[in-house]
Structure 1
Amino acid sequence: MSVIHCDIALPAGFRPQDILAFHRRDGERLAEQVDDDGLKKGLLWRGLPACLDLRFRSGRAILSLDVDGESGDAGELERMGRRMLGLSQPVEAFERQYRGHPQLGGLIAARAGLRVPQTATPFEALAWAITGQQISVAAAVTIRRRMLLLCDCRHSSGLLCHPDAARLAALTADQLGEAGFSRAKSRAILALSQAAVSGELPLDAWLDGAAAEEISERLLAVPGIGPWTVSYALLRGYGWLDGSLHGDVAVRKALGMVLGAADKPDQRQTQAWLEAFSPWRALVAAHLWALLQAGGF
């Protein structure tokens, strides 16, 4: 067992509550435990069970990682922490440009500094995106919990760790079905996992600056992964702020509220409205999610 630490300075106006809400989605607290000033999260670190402890302290994020084995260096932990906190997202530029917009201005004023919390790894973002296809957040949380219990990868603290591609690739479609995945989602999860294990989809390597268009093309070739899944995973896993989430029911519902419409816009209307905000379409979607407080958005 070993522990590494890092200390990250946060920008003025940083919103810890968004990070905490994102990790509070599962009330059973089997893999993430959130309290008033931080959280603990089980994850796999270089394939080993680990527990991330993240604390917010007056303009700083204090991270420690307790690994059941050799831990590696603090620089790697800091890079992961900065991604999870959304610190590479240039939200200040977005807010300067649109704070006077007739519809967005009010959303920005209500949540100035909003950033999109990211997952610990791109694979976790993709697994969540597939799990959440066309179902409610509550249903997706339940299926995710069952998947974690099925894999039963635990840190010595007792926290469950999100499985990596190798662990999910070792499952069968029947096992995933018992956890609540449809046949189509089981096939998609297994195809994704197997391609990641083989190196056909170098998900972590893409963090070093692969173009979103290249990642999208490669992911769309996986059976069961469509445009919504790709846009969501690029946002949560890579911090790409220009995916068009016009197919998202919560985005459409919130847009209807913003526009004062009697009914939520259809996908075509939502896509056309979001298009005007490129290259910030996914960040606009996050503000719309936040309007509904959809699953910690």
Structure 2
Amino acid sequence: MTPPALLQNTMLSCVVELPHDFRADDVLAFHGRDSAQIAEYTDAQTFMKGLMWSGLAACLTIRFHARHADVELKIDKSPIDSAPLDRMEPNASSDANETAELRRMAVRMLGLTQQIDDFERTYRAHPQLGPLIAGHPGLRVPLTASPFEALAWAITGQQISLGVAISLRRKMILAAGVRHSSGLACHPDAQRLSRLTEADLRQAGFSQAKAQTLMILCHLISEHRLPLDAWVDALPVDTIREQLLAIRGIGPWTVEYTLLRGFGWLDGSLHGDAAVRRSLQALLGCTEKLTSEQTKQWLAPFSPWRALVAAHLWAALGVKGA
């Protein structure tokens, strides 16, 4: 029996400083939402996540300390016995660029690009929001590793419970079939997921409509017609919204959620979110359920922080991992 080819391995690392009010538990809760831990692993101060890095299986590890986080990315390269010569020699310039990109990704994922100080100062004395802010000071929204992951998660979770969505996501990751040498399964990128068929996703438990939407999305990204990653820095919100809404199966809630979890945009109106409406109903002491329109009107004055308000409403309800 021929032994499996050894893998080259690249390790990137950096340190990210944390503000005094950083809430590591929120990040750990988001990435630990799947108790099966097939693609993410969390403990009291660390999370590990399987992901794709430039088309290769990788494992991201972030360890939290009092005022900083250690960030490591372990990338499985091609088998040594078949690797091109130029991949065998380290490239200092390339490693520096990749390390810088790793740091940018970690900063986004930890919510450190979100300007929450002005929000908290502005609404600390607000009769309804003030108590929420006091109960969750420093609340930031943890992000996914990529906009595609956020969008795939939003599509997966349309009109089903969080528990069912987590199970579907797990099956999709396993169906994609990418596993890092650490043992963690890797969340697929669009190129990898596009190798699956609609029938594969249906077998994993997706409805026909969701399977078709995911396939359309993957092909648009693979054909460079939907440049999600290129939008991260520029954040052309109107363009993102217009192009996503043009895809069959993607509606306003999916877009606003993706803008929040994938891009860190804090002004999306998540009035279509059932948990947001339920939490707001409790906050206002209403006996009847609030409609989407009522919730939209209540959130409107809090622009440009409407999605951050929604995150506080999630936190008040005890929703973790949404």
**TM-score scaled by length of structure 1:** 0.98
Q: Deviations over 1:40-64 (max 9, x none)?
A: 1101111100111100012001101
Is the partner of 2:42 in helix, strand or coil? strand
Give the greater-gyration-radius structure (CA): 2
* Equivalent residue, structure 2, for 1:25: 33
**Counterpart for residue 259 of structure 1:** 284
Structure-1 residue corresponding to 2:50: 42
User: 2:83 matched to which residue of 1?
Assistant: none
Q: Does 1:66 align with 2:74?
A: yes
Q: Residue 243 of structure 2 corresponds to which residue in structure 1?
A: 218
- Once the two structures are superposed, residues 186-219 of structure 1 have per-residue CA deviations (whole angstroms, 9 ceiling, x without a partner) of 1111111110110100010001213211111111
Give per-residue Cα distances to partners, 1:53-96, cap 9 Å, x unaligned: 10001200110111002784211110000000010100111101
Alignment of 1:147 onto 2:155: no
Which of 140, 158, 177 is residue 115 of structure 1 equivalent to? 140
Q: Structure 1 residue 237 and structure 2 residue 245: aligned?
A: no
Whether 1:55 aligns to 2:80 is: no
**1:7 partner letter:** V
Give identity over the alignment, percent: 55
The answer on whether the counterparts of 1:255 and 1:264 sit within 8 Å (CA) in structure 2 is: no
Q: Deviation at 1:295? A: 3.0
Higher mean alpha-carbon deviation, 253-262 vs 167-176, is at 167-176
Cα distance in 1 for residues equivalent to 2:230 and 2:61: 25
What pairs up with 1:55-134 in 2 under 5 angstroms? 55-69=63-77, 72=95, 73-134=98-159
Q: Distance in 1 between matches of 2:300 and 2:235?
A: 23
Root-mean-square deviation over aligned CA pairs: 1.0
Specify the code of the residue in structure 1 equivalent to 2:289: K
Q: Choose from 191, 205, 212 the match for 1:187.
A: 212
Aligned residue type for 2:213: A
1:12 aligned to which of 20, 34, 37: 20
- In structure 2, the residue matched to 1:174 is 199
Shift of 1:103: 0.5
State the shift of 1:152 in Å. Answer: 1.4
Q: What is the letter of the counterpart of residue 51 of structure 2?
A: L
Query: Aligned equivalents of 2:321 and 2:181: distance in 1?
Result: 28
Query: Displacement of 1:173 after TM fit?
Result: 1.2
8 Å Cα contact 1:231-1:243 kept in structure 2: yes
Query: How far off its partner does 1:256 sit?
Result: 0.3
The whole-number CA distance in structure 2 between the counterparts of 1:185 and 1:62 is: 37
Name the counterpart of 1:275.
300
What CA distance in whole angstroms lies between the structure 1 residues aligned with 2:293 and 2:128?
Answer: 19
User: Retained in 1: the 8 A contact 2:271–2:295?
Assistant: yes
Of 69-78 and 258-267, deviating more is 69-78
Query: Amino acid of the residue matched to residue 35 of structure 2?
Result: G
Match for 1:23: what amino acid?
A: H
CA contact (8 A) 2:48 2:60 kept: yes
8 Å contact kept, 2:235–2:263:
no
Contact 1:137 1:295 survives alignment (8 Å): no
**5+ unaligned residues in a row in structure 1: which ranges?**
none
Q: Is the 8 A contact 1:252 1:266 kept in 2?
A: yes
